[in-house]
Structure 1
Amino acid sequence: MDTWSVLLVLQALLLTDGAAPTPDLAAPTLRILAVGDWGGLDNSPFYTPREMANAKEMARTVRTLGVNAILSLGDNFYFSGVRNVGDKRFQETFEDVFSDRALVSVPWYVLAGNHDHLGNVSAQIAYSQVSKRWNFPKLYYRQRFMIPGTNVSVAVFMIDTVTLCGNSDDFLSQQPEAPQDRELARTQLAWLKKQLMAAKEDYVLVAGHYPVWSIAEHGPTRCLVKSLRPLLAKYKVTAYLCGHDHNLQYLQDADGVGYVLSGAGNFMDPSKRHFNKVPNGYLRFHYGSEDSLGGFVYLEINPKEMGITYMEASGKSLYKAVLPRRTRP
């Protein structure tokens, strides 16, 4: 392992109040990257320097630490999604950017954001039949992983928060006002409740595009605070992952649910305009430096706990949180 790789391993395990021991990379661990809002631009060259920097750093992380899966947290194609399954944006914003050999071998699990819903989300779902690494079977779905070499399991529920709450206007209230199809919203929420009630996995993650809690430009999503947050607490969900606000945040509520915001794949926004809209004590970490190249989240799940490391695209570890293995309700 070269010097840079050794440093990355050490940096990725830095806690805010001290350094954790260097891990045994051969130990039974499931490793996942989570990146949101990475979707380039809708004019040439169809990508941004931050997106390219994130792709490069994600590839280094895969080569150095090993990664089993990548979670795409929405806004995959700015600013109006894609038109059809043959849209050149799939090639120019996704395939040509995340093209490193290390990344090509890692499966992506995809959900849609508000900008994706301005285009043809069905085409993104259909692209699963074109690309071997792009997995987007339905608007909302369940994915199950096993920690290698163990019987410890991880469930990930990929949900569609735009269907659930409605689309948002970034230039008006910034809050989704109501779902376009209320019956579809009720059906999805009932599905999620049933799935969480039955979930026996040792770790349960829910991922959507809109945040439940955020101090930044968009702030907390009222619809999700009302409808989703109680389910996360009641069914002992380990963490909720999202994007939408273009920065990195970690929040944790009184029930111990972690809120992982990773929306720095393409833009960076330093806004803290909704700081007072989040309950006191929830915010643990916020990073939105305009000088930054953005970043993503690295999840390291072992039989005892889940580590959440916020990585800047420059290779620097910014913050780490740890959540325990789930106690089943």
Structure 2
Amino acid sequence: MDSKFGLRSFSIVMTLLLTMAPKLQAELTTVEHAPNSDGSISFLVIGDWGRRGLYNQSQVALQMGRIGEKMDIDFVVSTGDNIYDNGMKSIDDPVFQLSFTNIYTSPSLQKPWYLVLGNHDYRGDVEAQLSPILKSMESRWICMRSFIVDAEVAELFFVDTTPFVDAYFIHPEDQTYDWRGVSPRESYLQTILTELEMSLRESRANWKIVVGHHAIKSASIHGNTKELESLLLPILEANKVDLYVNGHDHCLQHISTSQSPIQFLTSGGGSKAWRGYYNWSKPEDMKFFYDGQGFMSVKVTRTEMNVVFYDVSGNILHKWNTSKMLYTDFAFPM
């Protein structure tokens, strides 16, 4: 199958299905996470990390602990590829303890971890990472396919992006993916997009953040994910999403284009990095690019958002902030 023709045809079909979909109440699972007394939340973002401490994973974890303590973070977000190279073999796979429990030991990281799945996670036993048994073994671990974290001042919408990518189905090469719970694919994707669109539309949070594994826009080796540009991006733009945060490419980057109000942030430097690849034709859109290991922090208040990128030594590489008014901040005469 020609990949361009396949993507175009699939996009048309999905658009028609979404148009025809009944307007039902959103059914994405929502996790309530209370904000601080001043209404703020703060969290770290890490992606592409689970390598038994190797490739500087332990060093990144150490700095995450230090920054997490300074910020007094509320939780950690993982952008996927939680366990390399081929996910977990079973619920009892020791790789979980070796790559997670034994690595992120700092007191400040003993907070909830909200995780999405990456393509490497799908190469193993997906149900193991999603299992409530795993959560009973490690209470920090909150991993679902697509879900919402409602922190009042902000809502984080986690999207299972791996099933969107045609190549994993059409040209899997020598890899085997665990598609239990995904097939039939078209119906699965329709459900995600419909429920996400309704959830975003119904959200009253001042800040909307969407988290997925695959990049919508990236200058690194994987580049833009065409399926997400076609199917996901229009929904995010129509519903005034502030950030799209991803991993997949093993780097840190911030892209902001004149064509979209969304900030595209990559935090995929949790372990193996330094790929030596960069391809972006519009330098004015690239606000920051670092082809190395590190992580990201986000702090959100009622009216301000602050994002910081750090390297493997905890050095600040890039900062970005913005502000917005709340509707309740406007005084309307009676």
Work out whether the TM-score is over 0.5: yes
CA distance in structure 2 between the aligned counterparts of 1:167 and 1:133, rounded to whole angstroms: 32
Deviations 1:1-49 (A, max 9, x none): xxxxxxxxxxxxxxxxxxxxxxxx9965311100000111xxxxx3214
Cα contact 2:252–2:291 (8 A) shared by 1 = yes
1:270 Cα offset (Å):
4.4
Matching residue's letter, 1:283 = M
Match in the other structure for 2:230: 226
1:76 counterpart = 2:115: no
Match in the other structure for 2:23: none
Cα contact 1:258–1:323 (8 A) shared by 2 = no
Find the partner of 1:133 among 123, 128, 140.
140
**CA-based RMSD:** 2.5
Matching residue's letter, 2:159 = I
1:233 Cα offset (Å):
1.1
Match in the other structure for 1:194: 198
1:161 counterpart = 2:161: yes
Please show how residues 74-113 of structure 1 align to structure 2 within 5 Å.
74-104=80-110, 106-113=111-118
1:34 counterpart = 2:45: yes
CA distance in structure 2 between the aligned counterparts of 1:70 and 1:32, rounded to whole angstroms: 5
CA distance in structure 2 between the aligned counterparts of 1:240 and 1:287, rounded to whole angstroms: 18
Find the partner of 1:123 among 103, 128, 152.
128
Which ranges in structure 2 are unaligned for 5 or more consecutive residues? 1-35, 174-181, 328-334
Task: Name the CA shift for 1:26/1:86 in 2 (closer, same or farther; >3 Å).
Answer: same
User: What's the secondary structure of 1:157's corresponding residue?
Assistant: strand
Cα contact 2:303–2:325 (8 A) shared by 1 = no
CA distance in structure 2 between the aligned counterparts of 1:29 and 1:273, rounded to whole angstroms: 36
1:315 Cα offset (Å):
1.5
CA distance in structure 2 between the aligned counterparts of 1:257 and 1:299, rounded to whole angstroms: 15
Flag the structure with larger Rg.
2
Match in the other structure for 2:309: 310
CA distance in structure 1 between the aligned counterparts of 2:303 and 2:277, rounded to whole angstroms: 34
1:288 counterpart = 2:295: no
User: What's the secondary structure of 2:56's corresponding residue?
Assistant: helix
1:144 Cα offset (Å):
0.5
Deviations 1:248-297 (A, max 9, x none): 00011323211110000011234444313xx56321110014xxxx1100
1:249 counterpart = 2:253: yes
Find the partner of 2:272 among 267, 271, 277.
267
Query: What is the number of equivalent residue pairs in this alignment?
Result: 280
Deviations 1:99-132 (A, max 9, x none): 122322x110011000000011211011223211
Match in the other structure for 1:12: none
Q: Percent identity?
A: 26
1:168 Cα offset (Å):
4.3
1:217 Cα offset (Å):
0.3
Which ranges in structure 1 are unaligned for 5 or more consecutive residues? 1-24, 41-45, 147-152, 173-178
Task: Name the CA shift for 1:103/1:188 in 2 (closer, same or farther; >3 Å).
Answer: same
1:318 Cα offset (Å):
0.3
1:204 Cα offset (Å):
0.6
1:327 Cα offset (Å):
7.4
Cα contact 2:298–2:306 (8 A) shared by 1 = yes
Match in the other structure for 1:204: 208
> Scaled by the length of structure 1, what TM-score is found?
0.79
Task: Name the CA shift for 1:182/1:268 in 2 (closer, same or farther; >3 Å).
Answer: same
1:299 counterpart = 2:317: no
CA distance in structure 1 between the aligned counterparts of 2:234 and 2:168, rounded to whole angstroms: 22
CA distance in structure 2 between the aligned counterparts of 1:89 and 1:110, rounded to whole angstroms: 17
Matching residue's letter, 2:186 = R
Match in the other structure for 1:43: none
Cα contact 1:238–1:326 (8 A) shared by 2 = no
CA distance in structure 1 between the aligned counterparts of 2:209 and 2:321, rounded to whole angstroms: 14
Matching residue's letter, 2:70 = T
